[in-house]
Chain A
């Protein structure tokens, strides 16, 4: 546990001292601020569903920018050799990087809570879908960060890592579109793999254990594969 804490502190420090995190946060909040103002003035409806969908898309594009350096940079700078020859388990290294990056993403999401406060100040929002929406976004971020780490662990090129992550996320997003072309049981498999298929019900306030299970399972699988990959050296 002490090792995990030490590695987490190092990762968080690396994230907070890099301009990448601040740039991503600035872009994220700028785009969302614009969308929020526009939808609020046009629709005059006190809900955040549109914002949550926008955050879903922006996360797919921006989380890879945060995860791309995690392992690829360590591999390029050869510090991974230093890390993995210390008495440290591979899983600890993976979990520390995952926790630090997820903390940053959740931190950026948390800044958007100001929109909920504004809605509450000037209207009467339904809080159920808002809570469910943030739960969905947290699970979504968890999956994206875990898969992003996996992609970063297979290359020493950060751009390749980001491209692999975005490609994987887009394929997961549109997985259900392929179902029409597939015979049973592959069609239902494709539908169940769909990222948006598990995200959409939650942001409208319907929380199903199957949707939570999808995000948790995919996250654990990606983290396991990353640690396993590091052990196979």
Chain B
């Protein structure tokens, strides 16, 4: 491409990075929040905040499953699908649901959920209609308002660009270790370069891991060809071989009573006496083709799928299982997904994941700001900025300041939107995008220092509002969460307070107009001297 390998790589790094940096920022930002997906969902459903974590969680599972089965036999004996979600260390609620008959015109059968307090088995009030943490989780690979398949292809391509940018970034970077400890503040684009280097190098293994494994989670959509070549029926046949428990029996008209669930549980406890059950599914309940599927938790293994068992619902016979003995390749593939989702991470490791994700956001943000800064610095006094430069600056302000603002707006909307609103969950998401649009309008109106300062102020206010609105609209607040040790809720409120403080700091750090001109002059002189020297 260029005269030397080094220059080609520098060129590639710049352009591959710049082309997709805003989309990558969205993916990294939403993905980083998704590490706390369960916690965000708990925060978003204050109706269940009073539920305490069970002391003997695993020991009471058999009793809970028996109780729920009795309920389901009573409520929906002929449903095509039952589901039981048992309490987990990160989510204390016991919930179950069944599929209602599908109405014509519906794509999927609606699911009717009931939530229980696992300690007393009393029914809890239905939580508000919200997507909670699932919104951010979906946003980071399905985007929103566009077709899922298209979105995933776009996300895959952006991730590939990211991987290329990472590799070329390492190639053009000659002093990885030294740069880890160098930061020169207040030196124009040089400072941004240093910030870019520090945030990249410090968490480099994480950046490469999360990007690579991210593509792997969608890999069969991107590269179905090996499976299509090796298997006659392609992907479908491969998945059936890999996960035989997913093979659904056809619904049958013939009525046959479901086996007592204890017969199934006994088989599981004989296999592994301390089994920690995550989910129980029943397909085609009370018919000749009924099936019972049990998912166990992954425990501390680096795999995304724990052991899973498929039982015949009439005879109680074990028909298939998966995830018990992995081959090396299967373990290799599955551990990649596990590393990406970070479901294995205990609290401390989860925070490490989170801060590495924040470093990733910082790396992308500093990268795209630096590009604009450099062009600005090189503009002569009489030169007007090009359209490309203005576009990049607009998108920088709109994305970097808009996404945190939209996130805070989403959390506030969760508390303030009326509970009886139709399609309330979608309205929350609408608020998210409207807030983002508002920031885009600010960015279009101008990208001067004071626009950045205003948006930093707006962000700080929005972030501080989240714990305040939460305290005013629910029974708990930041202090009581600390006293009652509700760490998920305390953590989210604290995160918003920290973010608000950071935005305050940012607005203080952005210099006023006069000092900018003086600084720019001295910077230019310094750059000239450096280039001469």
Do A and B share a complex? no
